[in-house]
Amino acid sequence: MTQEEVRQVVVDIIADIAPDEDLKNLKDDIALREQLELDSMDFLDIVMELRKKYKIEVPPEDYPKLATLGSCVQYLSPKLVN
């Protein structure tokens, strides 16, 4: 996957989890929780969706790497090889 495709994977998951939010203007370098109403249960949803849809396991020590869209792309790109 290209970085842009990986970014879209994350944005699509967030769109399911936070369906009331407008995701068009998300900034890649600002924490998702500062831009959206997301709490710890929502982040667990992101982890669960990655597991269900892409068979990616994110261990708890890596959760901080999902803080921004940019860090998500960086962390997930090697794992999303297709």
Partner 1 sequence: MNNINNRSRVVITGVGIASPNGNNLPEFRNAILNGISGIELKEIRYMGKWPAGICKFDEYKYQSKKARRRGTRAGAISIYCANEAIVDSKLPWAAVDKSRLGVYLGITEHGNVETENEIFELHQNNLNVDFWSHHHNPRTVANNPAGEVTLNLGITGPHYTLGAACAAGNVGLINACQMLQLGEIDFALAGGVSESTNTFGIFAAFKAQGALAFHEMPSLASRPLDITRNGIVISEGGAILTLERLEDAIKRNAKIYGEIVGYHINSDSTDFVLPNAQRQMDCIMKAISMAKISVNDIDIISLHATGTESGDIIECEAVGTLFNTSNKVNINGMKDLIGHTMGASGALELAGNLPSFTDGLVHPFTNIKELEQKCIIKGLVINGPIKREVNYILNNSFGMLGINSTLIVKKY
Q: Would you tell me which residues interact with partner 1 (CB under 8 A)?
A: 16-21, 37, 41, 44-45, 48, 51-52
Q: In angstroms, give the least distance from the CB of 18 to partner 1.
A: 6
* Closer residue to partner 1 (CB): 29 or 40: 40
In which residue are the tokens 């369906």 written?
Answer: 19
Instruction: Give alpha helix (H) positions in the chain.
Output: 3-17, 32-35, 40-54, 69-76
Q: How far is the CB of 23 from partner 1 (least distance, A)?
A: 13
Ramachandran region of residue 55, left (φ > 0), alpha (ψ -120 to 50) or beta? left
For residues 37 and 61, which CB has a smaller minimum distance to partner 1 in the complex? 37
Query: Closer CB to partner 1, residue 38 or residue 73?
Result: 38
Q: How far is CA 3 from CA 7, 8, 61, in A?
A: 6, 9, 23
For the CB of residue 69, give the shortest distance to partner 1 in the complex, in Å: 19
